């Protein structure tokens, strides 16, 4: 493995104190990112597209995106972006999500009328919000909402957000399921050639032909080569209404001989194949 050097710039969507920022630090300090022996310097962007543009223009070394949540499913926008750009996944990380209700120190629970947060966080806490009869306002960011909070308002974000912005933790663990994880991907530009070791998982995107049974024949290739499929998702192809790109996660490295043979075989059936990356599996 080639160490990246002292500091690497890592682009995220969202403000400091966001779950993405927490995940970056956890990944490099205690997760699979330890192999990089690097100190991440987080660069914040308002939108995921801006992170991708910055990586594309080499203004940042790496990017870190939430890709899937165990309650609400895929973060579709980020899945689509990964598929559109010439990027490659280098790592995977699972972050435990514990949503808190945060307010200004002067605000008590009974004073709270309005709650701001990212739609994904609002959805994960929907039962709590409905029961409490709060007015709910979507925003682009969990932690970013901390900057605009007023008396009588609250936001949903992490403990870390409370510390950074001096907010009062009114309630903790308010998501509807205690076991709430978000899965993140670390990725670089394809041409960056970071060397990683211990890849044992591969993510692919493929499209299929028109005829019936084409998807099944593609999936049978993985079974034939005894490559375990841990995930299957579909996303629409916008120019082709109700046609889909399929995303699969496979338990093997793209460098293994059987994966190489499987991909050659898959290419005979699939219309297009894109290798999104091969990386060491994150710990759940």
Residue of the chain from 166, 198, 228, 260 that contacts a second copy (CB under 8 A): 228
Q: Give the tokens for residue 278.
A: 């091969």
Secondary structure class of 149 (helix, strand, coil): coil
**Rounded distance between C-alpha atoms, residue 72 and residue 188, angstroms:** 26
Cβ 6 to a second copy shortest distance, Å: 35
Regarding 260 and contact with a second copy (CB under 8 A), the answer is no
Regarding 241 and contact with a second copy (CB under 8 A), the answer is yes
Cβ neighbours around 25 below 10 Å, total: 16
Cα end-to-end span (Å), the chain: 24
Q: Which residue, 39 or 216, has its beta carbon nearer to a second copy?
A: 216
Locus of tokens 């895929």: 74
Of 28-36, 73-81, 164-172, 261-269: span binding a second copy (CB under 8 A): 73-81
Residue of the chain from 159, 192, 235, 274 that contacts a second copy (CB under 8 A): 235
Please check whether residue 67 is in contact with residue 20, taking contact to mean a CB–CB distance below 8 angstroms: no
Cβ 192 to a second copy shortest distance, Å: 26
Of 58-66, 82-90, 173-181, 261-269: span binding a second copy (CB under 8 A): 173-181
Q: Which residue, 50 or 166, has its beta carbon nearer to a second copy?
A: 50
Long-range CB contacts (< 8 A, 24+ apart) of 226-231? 226/258, 227/251, 227/252, 227/258, 227/259, 227/262, 228/252, 230/201
Binding footprint of a second copy on the chain (CB under 8 A): 49, 68-73, 76-77, 119, 123, 126, 130, 138-140, 176-177, 179-181, 183, 212-213, 215-216, 219-220, 222-223, 228-236, 238-239, 241-242, 244, 246, 284
């Amino acid at each position: 493995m080639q160490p990246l050097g002292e500091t690497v710039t890592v682009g995220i969507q969202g403000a400091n104190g966001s779950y993405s920022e927490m995940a970056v630090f956890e990944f490099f300090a205690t997760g699979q990112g330890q192999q990089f022996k690097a100190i991440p310097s987080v660069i914040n962007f308002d939108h995921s597209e801006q992170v991708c543009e910055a990586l594309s223009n080499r203004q940042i070394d790496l990017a870190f995106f939430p890709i899937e949540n165990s309650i609400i499913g895929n973060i579709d926008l980020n899945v689509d972006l990964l598929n559109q750009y010439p990027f490659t996944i280098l790592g995977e990380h699972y972050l435990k999500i514990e949503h808190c209700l945060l307010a200004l120190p002067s605000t008590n629970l009974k004073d709270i009328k309005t709650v701001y947060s990212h739609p994904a966080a609002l959805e994960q806490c929907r039962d709590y919000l409905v029961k409490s009869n709060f007015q709910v306002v979507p925003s682009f960011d969990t932690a970013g909402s901390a900057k605009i909070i007023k008396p009588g308002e609250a936001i949903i974000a992490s403990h870390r957000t409370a510390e950074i912005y001096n907010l009062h933790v009114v309630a903790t663990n308010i998501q509807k399921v205690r076991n709430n994880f978000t899965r993140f991907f670390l990725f670089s530009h394809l041409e960056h050639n970071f060397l990683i070791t211990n890849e044992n998982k591969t993510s692919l995107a493929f499209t299929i032909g028109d005829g019936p049974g084409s998807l099944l024949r593609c999936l049978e290739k993985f079974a034939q080569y005894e490559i375990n499929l841990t995930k299957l998702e579909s996303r629409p192809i916008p120019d082709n209404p109700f046609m889909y790109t399929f995303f699969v996660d496979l338990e093997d490295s793209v460098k293994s001989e059987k994966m190489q043979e499987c991909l050659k075989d898959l290419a005979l059936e699939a219309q297009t194949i894109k290798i999104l990356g091969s990386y060491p599996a994150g710990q759940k």
